[in-house]
Amino acid sequence: MLLGVNIDHIATIRQVRGTTYPDPLDAVAICLKSGGDSITAHLREDRRHIQDRDMARLCTIPDLHVNMEMAATDEMVGICCDLKPIACCLVPEKREELTTEGGLDVIGGEAYLRPAIARLNAAGVRVSLFIDADKAQINKAIELGAAVIELHTGHYADVTGQARQDELKRLQDAATFAAGMGLIVHAGHGLTLENTPDIAAIPELKELNIGHAIVADALFKGLAQSIADFKALLR
């Protein structure tokens, strides 16, 4: 199972002070050395953490697997088609949210998602849709031409006890269904060292994308150790 390291919150620390440090790109070599397989960065419409120049520099690093998270707006699709990262992940985005709160409504958003996915596919960027564990959404993702789905684990991460077991079952069933339909299945959001093992045990999942907990843990044990600890769980 691959580990995508989300570096947004290294940029968050830089942006809250308007400094030039820490540079999120300084994390790339550490990530790759410590077991990270790809770099995920979310260029939000409000540019609250990752900036255009960060994304552009990431996409010039030879052989780096960059996963550009973004809303499916004309502006973002244009930037992505120009930069041509290996992959992108389309997410719903609201200005007032602290973080991505739920999965994309692929069914309700068909009118804007279908052309966006077609443009990205034509540019050679592998498209992932960040969705909740829901069969109807998965079927629509296939119909619109996405190669990958990323299952939203945020609800699972937010609850405990039986509610968490119920969410886990929904994620397991969705992963089995989607992989059976030929999709590549990823998962992410809200994952920590404590709640990742049950997700990492879902055999159909090929990649987990983890950011906030990696950067938070890095404060106390360093980025290399933080990434290595997550990678050990995935192994």
Where along the sequence are the contacts to ligand PXP (CB under 6 A)?
6, 8, 42, 69, 89, 91, 99-100, 130, 150, 188-191, 209-213
| Residues acting as catalytic residues | 42, 69, 189
Q: Which tokens sit at 10?
A: 């290294």
Q: What is the distance between the alpha carbons of residues 53 and 47, in angstroms, rounded to a whole number?
A: 11
Q: How far is the CB of 55 from ligand PXP (least distance, A)?
A: 14
| Two tokens, residue 218 | 């890095």
Question: Which ranges in 59-134 belong to alpha helices (H)?
Answer: 74-83, 110-122
Nearest distance in Å: CB 149, ligand PXP:
10
Q: What are phi and psi of 39, to 5 degrees?
A: -115, 125
Between vectors from CA 51 to CA 50 and to CA 54, what angle results, nearest 5°? Answer: 85
Instruction: Report DSSP state, residue 125.
Output: P
d(CA 128, CA 90): 6
In Å, what is the CA distance from 79 to each residue of 9, 84, 86, 136, 231? 21, 8, 13, 30, 31
Fill in the DSSP letter of residue 3.
Answer: E
Measured from the CB atom, the residue of 52 and 158 that comes closer to ligand PXP is 158
Tell the smallest beta-carbon distance from residue 162 to ligand PXP (Å).
Answer: 23
Would you say 25 or 210 has its CB closer to ligand PXP? Answer: 210
Q: Which is nearer to ligand PXP, 153 or 172 (CB)?
A: 153
Task: Quote the least distance from Cβ 140 to ligand PXP, whole Å.
Answer: 17
Nearer to ligand PXP, 62 or 217 (CB): 217
